[in-house]
Amino acid sequence: MDSHDDYVTVAQVDQIPPGTCRTVEVDGIFLALCNVDGTFRAVDNTCPHAGGPLGEGCLDGDLIECPWHGWRFNVQTGQRPENPEIRVACVEVRVEGQNVQVKVPLTL
């Protein structure tokens, strides 16, 4: 992967139904991959509050909620609605056929 616009497949479309999310791993970095009404989004899996796994949380519209303490983040912007100064990194996602892919190298 020497090009800066490479993508790597992390899941199949049917593995993540609309309204759900899961944790995926790319080169040792964990991401929360979410399906927001058919649009896939990816953010850093680690909640900045206490390190909780966002990919194991609940998705409500554009908001993912950490399963540990309930901190929420917008999966489109990475911002926390309750305090926009706090955010998680967003990663570019595309769908090629049935493959859900994220852009690498990751810059979190």
Burial class of residue 15 (count of CB atoms within 10 Å of its CB; 0-12, 13-18, 19+): middle
Give the mean model confidence (pLDDT) for residues 37-52: 97
Q: Is residue 32 over pLDDT 70?
A: yes
Q: What residue ranges do the domains of the chain occupy?
A: 6-104
Q: Are 72 and 78 in contact (CB under 8 A)?
A: no
Q: Are 44 and 89 in contact (CB under 8 A)?
A: yes
Q: Strands, DSSP E only, in the chain?
A: 6-12, 21-26, 29-36, 39-44, 58-60, 63-65, 72-74, 79-80, 83-87, 90-91, 93-96, 99-104
Q: 15 φ, ψ to 5°? A: -80, -20
pLDDT tens-digit series, residues 2-29: 444 699 999 999 999 999 999 999 989 9
pLDDT tens-digit series, residues 53-85: 999 999 999 999 999 999 999 999 999 999 999
- For the domain made up of 6-104, the CATH class stated in words is mainly beta
- What pLDDT, on a 0 to 100 scale, did the predictor assign at position 108? 79
pLDDT tens-digit series, residues 77-107: 999 999 999 999 999 999 999 999 999 988 7
- What pLDDT, on a 0 to 100 scale, did the predictor assign at position 5? 67
